[in-house]
Amino acid sequence: MLNRRAFLRAGAIAVGLPFLEGLPERSAWAADAAPVFSLFIVAACGVVGSRFFPDETGPLSVDSLAGLTDKATSVLAPHADRLLFVKNINFPMPGPTNCGHSQGLCQALTAAPAGGGGGTAYSNGMSADMVIAQAVNDAGTDPLTLYAGNRRNGYIAERISFKGAGAGQVRSADDNPYTLYSRLIGLTSKDGTTTPDATDAAAALLSSRKSVNDLVRGELKQMLSLSALSAADKQRLEQHFDSIRDAEIKMNNMSLACTQDGLAVSQLEAYKTGFAFRMDGMIEDVAKLHLELVALAFACNFNRVATLQHGDGTDATKYAVPSNAGLNWPFHHISHRVQSDSAIGSNQTAEDAHAEIDVVRMQTLLHGLDQFEERGLLDKSMIMWTNHIADGPTHSFKNVPTIIAGNAGGYLKQGAYVDAGNVTNNRLFNTLITAAVRDKTDWSTNFGDGSGSGGIDELLA
Amino acid sequence: MRSLSSLCATLVLTALAACADPPKQKTDTGPNDQSAGASGAAGESDGASGATGIELNGSPQHYRVVRLTNGQWAQSVQDILHLADPSGLEASFQSPVAGTTDFSNNELLLDVNQRSWADFQSAAESLADQVTSSPSALANVYPGTDSSGFIRTMGRRAYRRPLTNAETSAYNALFKSGSAMPGDKSAFAKGAALVIRALLQSPNFLYRTEFSPSGEPLSGYEVAAKLSLWLRGTTPSDELLDMAPNLTTADAAAEIASEMLDEPAAVTVMRQFHGELLHFARLGTISKVGVSNYRSSLNAEYEESSYLFFDKIFNEGLGVKDILTSTYGFVGPGMAKLYGIRQTGSGLIEQDLGPERVGYFSQLPFLTLNGLNGDPDPIHRGASINLDVLCASLGPPAAALPPIPPLEQNQTNRQRITLLTTGCGGTCHHDLINPVGFAFEHFDGMGQYRDTENDGLTIDSSGSYRFTDGSKKFADAGELMRAMAESQQAHLCYAKKLASFSLQRDIVEADLPLVSALSAISRAEDGSVKRVLTELVKNDAFRTHDEGAQ
């Protein structure tokens, strides 16, 4: 029997491991319903509002957007007809009561006011990615949770995906793209062929895994029967129990490009050892690789939901943009317009640098959209890009920039810049969750804890 | 004009403090919250303990099942399987979310979810294949070829206790199933491989458990596992398991703990403790703009210098008093120039840093980290020591803040910060932060000693700090450090942090008897860290399962 790593490496494996770790046969979707894939990106430290979106709402076209060269989002022009820009989306909290970065992160995907502050800030609700994953992924299949940035370089990494309310509920993220890559490489091949040996090995591996899983489940049941356990212990063991899956071989029938084409394989392999992915200046490269891998994971039906936190809440990346050449400040200080993590200044050069960083980040998003398009995913996905605050100096939770790419299977409006009407993001997520799980009957359209209820009509196709 | 509240907030918690390290707050999860188990039985208070003045407001869950840390897992599998080298597999494991708890080994972070389950499954399969790849490789794990002996031996190592009859039967059946599987290996190797895979995925291996009734002593095996995983970072050795049934008394547990504390593995464990306690990882991220004598290569020296200082504290039977008052430090080539010390050799060498450098916080790493370019940063210095060393309650962090104004002519840094903070009232805690920060005004942003500042202005580093056991005046950082070393507060704080790391949970008001007992040991004449740890092992808080406040 091949060991798992040898199995992974055995050449030309097209259906072996991918489907060992792919979605089990029980899917939330009806057999004839095409799935919607959801990616939520939360970037750091706000944008320069006056230099980000077009000045006026209205239709977006390739030419019109490309012409707005003083706006960061103009770099997305090649996909203008697949984009929905949204203004006047607010977080539930009217403004920061302490560290706006951590409180913003905790609200960005939960639409619920944050608790605590700083590094120990917590959410007061489950995040949208988890809600969607529970509906469209098989039980126990959590969303992909990714992070771009140097964990040592900031204080508030991994604060967007939450299992629920309260301390200890934030979900850990993978910062090294190689981690996801290594889990995906068995799914794909360059020619789409499968060797009989690989198939036999997969069957043998599955059989043995079933034996082990049965034993482990039995032990967990035995533990769960102990009267000494607290409710928290039982919840922990039940989560473990639910995480065990008898993986199975399941052919990819998504009609999507589940191949390694388009992956920066040599770059990914270089991250196998060491911590180069955490080096200052690597954040955009790492974010691009994450986006490539999410597109691949979706195309291979490995998972249907993902999040990417793009930068730490107090991101210390020193971006090599022209206006930062003289300052050499970390991004967090640039966003504050003063060389301080807490104080607020008015340095114009820093504002210019921030605007240039916005452009860089939009180029990264563009790279991701290209990947989704090449894998035929844009009409089957929704990719939401937002920020944990509206802008740097104010740390405002009002009018947080929101970009949605992809129409979620024809559900969402495309090619437009719309005004959501000064609503809290619970209504945004009511719309997006509905788009993702719309064949489900038990979705209550009452997500989060903001003002009002229901979705946002302006976002609908 | 900026509001007073914003002004105050500047002084409460700037950079580090504003967006990091705020006090934990009570969590209200509501009646329908599925995660209620992970939020707040405790944590009613969001301030300092009334009895001690230090913060005791965590959210412990007192789990009976706490997953091995990635490090414990790695060392355990190496020892269970007698691997010559570390597998390195844990490098790709899901890592705990940093910063949400005082220490990364906190029980709240150690569960098994779908991602980590896949990690453990994959690693178990890889390791099983590796150690059964040849007869000689397998013989290194277990010298015999009898399945019952293999299961008994390996099961005891993995489960950290003997297997029950039912467990043995289940593994016999699994071995038989594995032996019959197709493949080129011997039947014994195939059976062994499947058993190893199961053992390493078993909840009895992945979780350290405490199943004894509440308030009653843990079993000897549970004590052995708790001690070994904590102080050795690995599963109990065969020899320790032989002794385990007798580890039910405080003295027996303490005796074993004392032996472990003298082993090299304990130094590694304590490196993690002190590194997370004082955030040594941040030393690697120091960045200065426009400072001519700063080199990024210094960061690595600062980090290693800090670890070596605390290694010495631990190894040589020293304690909190020495942390605060030792005038010795470890100096690398780059640091030597800044200290003004002549040094030969390329490594870090222990040196007497002189009478102005009293304790770790008067050394370059701390002072440089908490300096804004070339200028001292009394707010960060003061806030860090208040939070990490004195466990002072500084309240919630602040929102957006105004910048510190430029230094004016004939104005000292102290005067500038004092002016900024004057009138902000009690909420900004400048009464706690400023005195501590100002005590270090003789050290600039690079940690270099200076007699004057701003074209010859005299530096005033004197002050008074309101310790929980009374106010004390000091002339400079050295006197402040000595006052801290004598205070109850610093010892209580260290005891609290050490208990949190050792028990792998948040510490709350109900733990006050434990914290006070440990603090008393620490404050005594020979209050070494090792003595404090030994006392901790004797305490019921370590040797029984504490359900916490219900």
Q: How many other C-beta atoms are found inside a 10 Å radius of the C-beta of residue A416?
A: 18
Q: Which of residues 255-284 of B touch A (CB under 8 A)?
A: 281-282, 284
Q: Would the pLDDT of A259 be above 60?
A: yes
Say which of B10, B211, B399 has its CB closest to residue A97. B399
pLDDT digits (tens, 9 = 90+) for B497-514: 999 999 999 999 999 999
Q: Does the CB of A1 have a partner CB in chain B at under 8 Å?
A: yes
Q: For B370-487, where are the alpha helices, taking DSSP H only?
A: 378-388, 413-421, 430-438, 477-486
Give the domain extent around A180. Answer: 34-190+260-459
Mean pLDDT of the region A210-234: 96
CATH of the domain at A391: 3.40.720
The pLDDT score that the predictor gives to residue A20 is 37
Q: Does the CB of A211 have a partner CB in chain B at under 8 Å?
A: yes
Q: Is B48 left (phi over 0), alpha (psi -120 to 50) or beta?
A: beta
Say which of B129, B281, B547 has its CB closest to residue A152. B281
DSSP state letter for A322: G
* CA torsion, ordered B47, B50, B53, B55, to nearest 10 deg: -40
pLDDT band at B10 (very low <50, low <70, confident <90, very high): very low
User: A147 and A248 in one domain?
Assistant: no
Say which of A124, A239, A314 has its CB closest to residue B113. A239
The model's pTM: 0.87
Q: Would the pLDDT of B344 be above 80?
A: no
User: A209 and A65 in one domain?
Assistant: no
* Contact status, residue B16 vs residue B384, Cβ threshold 8 Å: yes
Tell me which of A48-62, A153-167, B473-487 is least confident: A153-167
DSSP state letter for B525: T
Q: Does the CB of B169 have a partner CB in chain A at under 8 Å?
A: no
User: A22 and A164 in one domain?
Assistant: no
The pLDDT score that the predictor gives to residue B549 is 58
* Mean confidence (pLDDT) of chain B: 88
Q: Does the CB of A24 have a partner CB in chain B at under 8 Å?
A: no
Q: Which residues of B touch A1 (CB under 8 A)?
A: 181-183, 190
Mean pLDDT of the region A198-203: 69
The pLDDT score that the predictor gives to residue A398 is 97
Say which of B92, B113, B183 has its CB closest to residue A179. B92
| Residue of chain A whose Cα is closest to the Cα of B398 | A98
Domain count, chain A: 2
DSSP state letter for A448: S
DSSP H or E segment with residue A90: strand A83-90
Domain ranges of chain B: 68-207
pLDDT digits (tens, 9 = 90+) for A344-397: 889 999 999 999 999 999 999 999 999 999 999 999 999 999 999 999 899 999
Say which of B97, B170, B197 has its CB closest to residue A172. B97
Q: What percent of chain A has pLDDT over 70?
A: 84
Mean pLDDT of the region A405-415: 95
User: A429 and A317 in one domain?
Assistant: yes
N-terminal to C-terminal alpha carbon distance within chain B: 49
The pLDDT score that the predictor gives to residue A340 is 85
| Residue of chain B whose Cα is closest to the Cα of A392 | B400
Q: Which residues of A touch B372 (CB under 8 A)?
A: 339-340
Q: Would the pLDDT of B309 be above 90?
A: yes
> Among the three residues A258, A276, A295, which one is the final residue of a domain in this structure?
A258
User: A452 and A330 in one domain?
Assistant: yes
ipTM score of complex: 0.89
User: A423 and A377 in one domain?
Assistant: yes
How many A×B Cβ pairs under 8 Å?
Answer: 307
User: A369 and A244 in one domain?
Assistant: no
**A246 or A197, which is more confident:** A246
> Minimal Cα–Cα distance from A107 to chain B, Å?
16
Q: Would the pLDDT of A15 be above 50?
A: no
Mean pLDDT of the region B133-159: 96
Phi, psi of A87 (to 5 degrees): -110, 160
The pLDDT score that the predictor gives to residue A255 is 55
The pLDDT score that the predictor gives to residue A186 is 65
Say which of A115, A243, A318 has its CB closest to residue B114. A243
* Mutate which: B5, B44, B59, B100, vs A, most A CBs within 10 A: B100
* Mean confidence (pLDDT) of chain A: 85
Q: Would the pLDDT of A30 be above 50?
A: no
User: A185 and A74 in one domain?
Assistant: yes
User: A417 and A363 in one domain?
Assistant: yes
Q: DSSP characters for A366-416?
A: HHHHHHHHHTT-GGGEEEEEEESSS-TTT---SS--EEEES-TTTTB--SE
> Among the three residues A258, A273, A295, which one is the final residue of a domain in this structure?
A258
Angle between the N-to-C axes of helices B529-538 and B250-261, in degrees from 0 to 180, rounded to the nearest 10 = 150
- Structural tokens at position A132: 């969607």
The pLDDT score that the predictor gives to residue A190 is 52
Q: Does the CB of B134 have a partner CB in chain A at under 8 Å?
A: no
> Among the three residues A218, A239, A258, which one is the final residue of a domain in this structure?
A258
pLDDT digits (tens, 9 = 90+) for B168-215: 999 999 999 999 998 889 999 999 999 999 999 999 999 999 999 888
Q: Which residues of A touch B95 (CB under 8 A)?
A: 172
User: A310 and A162 in one domain?
Assistant: yes
Q: Which residues of B touch A171 (CB under 8 A)?
A: 97, 113
Distances (CA, A) of B279 to A153, B46, B250, B387: 12, 23, 33, 12
User: A329 and A186 in one domain?
Assistant: yes
**A418 or B12, which is more confident:** A418
Q: Which residues of B touch A150 (CB under 8 A)?
A: 285
- Structural tokens at position B2: 């900026």
User: A264 and A159 in one domain?
Assistant: yes
Q: Which of residues 96-115 of A touch B (CB under 8 A)?
A: 96-102, 115
Q: Which of residues 145-184 of A touch B (CB under 8 A)?
A: 145, 150-153, 155-158, 163-174, 176, 178-179, 182-183
* CA torsion, ordered A318, B298, A274, B117, to nearest 10 deg: -90
Q: Would the pLDDT of A28 be above 60?
A: no
pLDDT band at A252 (very low <50, low <70, confident <90, very high): very low
> Minimal Cα–Cα distance from A232 to chain B, Å?
4
Phi, psi of A168 (to 5 degrees): 80, 5
